[in-house]
Structure 1
Amino acid sequence: MDINWLAVLAAALSTLVVGFIWYNPKVFGTAWMKETGMTEEKAKGANMFKIFGMAILFAFFISFILQFMVIHQFGPMGMVGGPEFFDSAKPSFAAFMADYGSAYRTFKHGALHGFMAGLFFALPVIGTNALFERRSAKYILINGGYWIVCCTIIGGIVCAWPVAK
């Protein structure tokens, strides 16, 4: 199984779409600005190229690693050493991949695992930092919720989008 770089990129870019909606003033944007102390003046003085560029890069990293959590077939492939060792792997590997090589490769399944990654990994990381920064519960819920939604969508995209042959 190869990495689907197009799916990883699309999943990373999906975080921008979610962010445009999530942090819109009519959704959570106004509350987020209040909780972070952000003002319109501060926002206008920002280097948006740098901010969005780094945001896409970080989302790409997240999308890349999440595929290994949501696509179960990466586990057995890692056990034989990767694609270059498929031909020399034990017959049980070939039998397993014949039976389960495309099992659970759906948006729904990937979204479930992405949701769990967001809830049990991203939220605690954000929450821990926020506690030491003396941020509010509202701040944790807004930002943690954003990453739970993003991880859910990322997981769905990278799991369901097969590698083009």
Structure 2
Amino acid sequence: MEMNWIAILVAALSTLVVGFVWYHPKVFGTIWMKESGMNEEKMKGANMPLIFGISVIYAFLIGIVLQFLTIHQWGAYSMIGGNVTEALPSYKAFMADYGTTFRTFKHGALHGFLTGLLLVLPVIGTNSLYERRSFKYTLVTGGFWIVCFMIMGSIICGWV
């Protein structure tokens, strides 16, 4: 199996689009600013190209992991240690039968949703507890990542 670097990059870039909408003042931006203690003055001093660039790099790393979580065939590939030439005939038969099974946008969205809900939201929630952030902050930030993971999972899994 090969990594689909273009799909991962597009998925990573999708987080900027979602963030632009999600954190718009008419959506959740005003709530997020209040709950995070952010204000216009703090935002003006930020190096936004650097922040966006590093955000895309982080999202790219997330995309690599999402590829393993959304595409089941990676599990079979890992079972043979990644060496197709030494794989038993059963691996080749399995891949011939199931090589593109569940490779849909819908399936990727499902696994992205589950990963966001059951992995990312608890991590953000735990950090929010120790940082003394509100439950609204947890919901806004966690909701953003759940939506991002759904879209990223869709792109990565469905791009065959």
Length-normalised TM-score, structure 1: 0.95
Q: CA RMSD in A?
A: 0.7
Structure 2, unaligned runs of 5 or more: none
Matched, 1:35 2:28: no
Q: Does 1:17 pair with 2:17?
A: yes
How many residue pairs were aligned? 160
Residue 133 of structure 2 aligns to a residue whose secondary structure is coil
Superposition pairs of residues 1-165 of structure 1, within 5 angstroms = 1-82=1-82, 85-162=83-160
**Whole-Å separation in 1 of the counterparts to 2:80 and 2:67:** 18
Between the aligned partners of 1:39 and 1:87, the Cα distance in structure 2 is 57
Once the two structures are TM-superposed, the CA of residue 93 in structure 1 deviates from its matched residue by 0.7
2-structure distance, mates of 1:71, 1:124: 23
Distance 1:42 1:70 in 2: 38
TM superposition outliers: structure 1 runs of 4+ over 2 Å: none
Can you list the C-alpha shifts for 1:137-164, whole angstroms capped at 9, x where unaligned?
Answer: 00000000000000011111100112xx
Q: How many Å separate the matches in 1 of 2:58 and 2:87? A: 35
- Deviation of 1:87 (Å): 2.8
Encode CA deviations 1:87-117: one digit per residue, 9 max, x unaligned: 3211111111110000000000011001000
Name stretches of at least 5 consecutive residues in structure 1 with no aligned partner: none
* 2:154 partner amino acid: G
Residue 23 of structure 1 aligns to which amino acid in structure 2? Y
Cα-to-partner distance string for 1:12-42 (whole Å, 9 max, x where unaligned): 0000000000000000001111111111111
Q: How far apart, CA to CA, are the structure 2 residues paired with 1:90 and 1:36?
A: 53
